[in-house]
Amino acid sequence: MTVYAIIGGTGLTQLEGLSIRQSLAVDTPYGSPSAEVQIGEYAGKEVLFLARHGHPHRFPPHKVNYRANLWALKQAGAEAIIAVNAVGGIHPAMGTGHFCVPHQIVDYTSGREHTFFADDLEHVTHIDFSFPYSESLRQQLIAALAAEGCEYSDQGVYACTQGPRLETVAEIVRLERDGCDIVGMTGMPEAALARELDLDYACLSLVVNPAAGKTTAVITMAEIEQALHDGMGKVKSTLARVLAS
């Protein structure tokens, strides 16, 4: 039986309904993870949970210790990871409250510790990252979203920007020209690190705001927080369906 881990993003610093059996403070060669790894039962299955930004939410996207987080989950026994991400919508279909299960990603970040293959190497290691997400895990998420009656897209290109600021209108124009459908700040290097550790990995993205220039209104944190509040129930029920399948 596959051991699943859930990485909770903004709006999901706790997995309500998780019956916690153990909280592990995992030591890693890369420093401390964002939070303890919680191990417990959710939807009748054992699951691991880690708050990407810590609990309380205190690590901005560019300061998350992605290497420690992924290493800690692997050490705790994770075999597959579902990453929950709050994103902005670029493609017209990606309205607030819409879900996307991306199939591709473009990395626009800089300066992040992005690989385990960096120091004291006996040989150089390259991973195949042509298809960054596990297709079988993507299909599980898609089936769960459909069963829940959610509005969703079964594919999309995730643009990962540096943050913590939101993007300019000109930057969103560029991302759209590059073929990106949604924009977030935490998709990389998380996906690549999971691949380096041979972990299945897929992303459940919730659109919480239109990207810059996609609306005439000013993007406010209050609106983003409301969208997170409104969407988290569907996120949790979707996760429960995947675990129960």
pLDDT, tens digit, for every residue of 166-209?
A: 999 999 999 999 999 999 999 999 999 999 999 999 999 999 99
In a domain, 69, yes or no: yes
124 within domain boundaries = no
Question: SS3 for 28?
Answer: strand
C-alpha span between 122 and 105 (Å, rounded): 30
Residue 57, pLDDT score:
79
Residue 198 burial (CB count, 10 A): 9
Positions of the chain with pLDDT under 50? none
Mean pLDDT of the chain: 92
Q: CATH no. for residue 210?
A: 3.40.50.1580
Position 29 in a domain: yes
Is 186 labelled as part of a ligand binding site? yes
The answer to whether position 83 is within a domain reads: yes
For residue 185, say whether it is annotated as part of any ligand binding site.
yes
Single pTM value for the model: 0.93
180 in any annotated domain: yes
Ligand-binding annotation for 222, yes or no, is no
Interval 53-70: pLDDT, tens:
988 778 999 999 999 999
pLDDT at 13: 67
Q: Is residue 217 part of a domain?
A: yes
CB 170 within 8 A of CB 112: no
Q: What number of residues does the chain have?
A: 245
Q: Binding residue per annotation — 114?
A: no
- Helix or strand or coil: residue 55? coil
Residue 111 within a domain: yes
Look up the domain containing 86 and give its range. Answer: 4-118+130-244
Cα–Cα distances in angstroms (integers) from residue 208 to residues 10, 61, 192, 211, 227, in the given order: 10, 16, 24, 9, 5
List the beta bridge partners of residue 45. Answer: 42
Instruction: Count CB atoms within 10 A of the CB of residue 177.
Output: 8
Is 182 part of a structural domain of the chain?
A: yes
Is residue 94 annotated as involved in ligand binding? no
Looking at the structure of the chain, the number of domains it has is 1
Find out whether 53 is annotated in a ligand binding site.
yes
